[in-house]
Amino acid sequence: MKTLFGRISLFIFLAAAALILWGIFAEPNILVVKNIDIALKKWHSEHNSLKIVFLGDLHTKPIDLDRLKRVVSTVNEQEPDIVLSIGDYVNGNSYKETLYPRVIAEELGNIKSKYGFYTVLGNHDYDYNSRRIRKELEKNGIKVLENDTIPLDIEGKRLWLIGIKDFSVCHTHLDYNTEQVSDEENPVILLSHTPDVFPEVDERIELTLAGHTHGGQVVIPFYGPIYVPSKYGKKYSKGYFEEKNKKMFVTGGIGTSVFPVRFNNFPEIIILNIKSDKKSE
């Protein structure tokens, strides 16, 4: 009996150790690409789908340069129409915890897309030095939106893009930014670092893109994420959500924060294929 108990205990110990090692050294380095189709009522039906590469929460540590290069290479392989990101490029709030913003921005500047690369900043970016990060990103051709509303010309048609400051640490002007949309017939996409803004989003904004949650980082089978940094708990942890006439996609992101662990929650690059909602035609 003692021998059997000892064997079972050893098996449990080894299995637990293997899972911990997987979560620390393996899974955080396995980058997956997910394709998601989203239909918008105001997307122009005469157009082909718009391919958006959606990134978030890189949390680039000093040891993550190779991973960052893989992200850039993988994005370019997708041949995106446009690249959108919800920030958290740096990790922590000191130079010891993160790769230099200049290096991060120079690598991301190698990403190629038809209509450009647009981003908001995350709470870690603001904690570190948002002015410096914005300067480095824009020096490398990446447009930073901080409570801005801009029109984009997509094959002669207009797409509105709103980017707000991080809802969790800064004052936003979402109502004002929404009012800057000067027409009712063209689609509007909102970039927000955190999904907590979603209940307050005006229905004129058809699609909200967010992150921050990391999908919980550690996801237990049949239970879900252990912890999600959101006032709504697990409700908006990761994936696609639809409420009333509004849609939101929350990325689980790429990096890690607090603990360098991911389990049952791979780093992800999201490909959003925006199409027309034919039911509205």
- Can you list the domains of the chain with their CATH numbers? 31-280 (3.60.21.10)
CB-based contact 212:169 (threshold 8 Å): no
Nearest-angstrom CA–CA distance, 253 and 110 = 20
Provide the 10 A C-beta neighbour count for residue 55.
Answer: 25
Give the strand pairing for 268-276 and 32-40.
parallel
Helical spans, DSSP H, in 30-150 = 65-77, 101-108, 123-139
pLDDT of residue 278: 64
Structure tokens at 131: 């002015």
> Is pLDDT above 60 for 279?
no
Question: Measuring CA to CA, how many Å separate 46 from each of 75, 99, 152, 161, 278?
Answer: 26, 43, 17, 20, 11
Instruction: Give the least confident one: 8-22, 141-155, 263-277.
Output: 8-22
pTM of the model: 0.95
pLDDT of residue 271: 99
Provide the 10 A C-beta neighbour count for residue 107.
Answer: 18
pLDDT averaged over the chain?
A: 93
Q: What average pLDDT does the segment 67-86 reach?
A: 98
pLDDT of residue 280: 45
pLDDT of residue 12: 80
Nearest-angstrom CA–CA distance, 111 and 140 = 10
pLDDT single digits (tens) 32-42: 999 999 999 99
pLDDT of residue 6: 72
pLDDT of residue 62: 93
Give the strand pairing for 188-191 and 157-163.
parallel
pLDDT of residue 43: 92
Q: What average pLDDT does the segment 257-277 reach?
A: 95
CB-based contact 56:251 (threshold 8 Å): yes
pLDDT of residue 281: 45
Nearest-angstrom CA–CA distance, 103 and 220 = 35
pLDDT of residue 156: 87
pLDDT of residue 202: 94
